[in-house]
Amino acid sequence: MATRPDSVQQADCADPADPVASFDLPTAILRTTQQAFAGLADAVPLVLAPQWAMHQGTLRGQPVTIATDVWQTTVLGWARVALLQAGPRTSVVSVLLFPRLAYDLPLCGAEVVSINGRINLAVMDWVPMSASRATPPALAAIRAQFAHYPNDPELPDWVAASFSPHLLYLRPKPRIAPADLHAAYTAYLHGYLQLCATATPHGDPAQTFAAQQHFSLDDMAKTPGGAMLARLFGAEWAAAYSHAVLFRPGGAYTTPPT
């Protein structure tokens, strides 16, 4: 795995006297994800090429770093977490777990944006690959634990069109502490890994690949993350990174649209 600079390894404390601002949720999510996969007997950490494992740029004279970890398991063909640090006060974590094509399962995804130690965006879900496939009952039970975290009433198109009825989607909510959102992420992640632990091969691998590929290309086109990466690191690198690392259906390289 990539060796991170101190700015990534340490939590961002915008105001040490503020217990909310002193908890950097993206960094906590990164560590929780690393620990979860370290605890799996069948998890294999993958060695990425240096340009993907750690990449640096600048924004308004401030250093910008994106670091990526990836694992494979018996069920997961590509499980990655990426942490972006822009200057001393902005961090973004993105998690996306792709099942192998023999397993017709939803994807597990999360993204959290933190500015000055406070949450600007949080989204967590098991993303269905088809509207006709039944949602795993465990997901509804997990979301029910956090029913007091209401979704933002105005879902953007890229969320409303793709995600499940049990997603957690928040724009700034000062009443919800980052530590509480960390508890929600932990439940979504560990519940999903438990789902994988009991999964058996089923479905049509060709259809599963098509669904994962469609979601990947659609997500790249619609979400603001792609545009942000292009601004920070250049359009050419951002496009290559997206296809090589961020989105790998079943573990396969995402073919750019023609």
**CATH no. for residue 195?**
3.40.1500.20
Pairing, β 54-59 against β 107-115 = unpaired
Averaged over 1-11, what is the pLDDT?
40
Name the DSSP class of 146.
Answer: T
CA neighbours closer than 13 Å in the CB half-sphere of residue 186: 11
Where in the sequence is the domain holding 55, given as residue range(s)? 6-251
* Cβ–Cβ under 8 Å, residues 84 and 65: yes
For residue 112, being part of any structural domain is answered with yes
Cβ-count burial of 154 within 10 angstroms (0-12 exposed, 13-18 middle, 19+ buried)? exposed
Task: Provide the number of structural domains found in the chain.
Answer: 1
- pTM reported for the whole predicted model: 0.90
For residue 103, being part of any structural domain is answered with yes
Task: Render pLDDT for 146-164 as a digit per residue (tens, 0 to 9).
Answer: 999 989 988 888 788 789 9
**Which residues neighbour 145 within 8 Å (Cβ) at sequence distance 6 or greater?**
184, 187
Task: Render pLDDT for 23-32 as a digit per residue (tens, 0 to 9).
Answer: 789 999 999 9
- From the list 229, 220, 245, the residue with the least C-alpha distance to 48 is 245
Least confident piece of the model among 9-18, 59-68, 73-82, 127-136? 9-18
For residue 1, being part of any structural domain is answered with no
For residue 88, being part of any structural domain is answered with yes
For residue 258, being part of any structural domain is answered with no
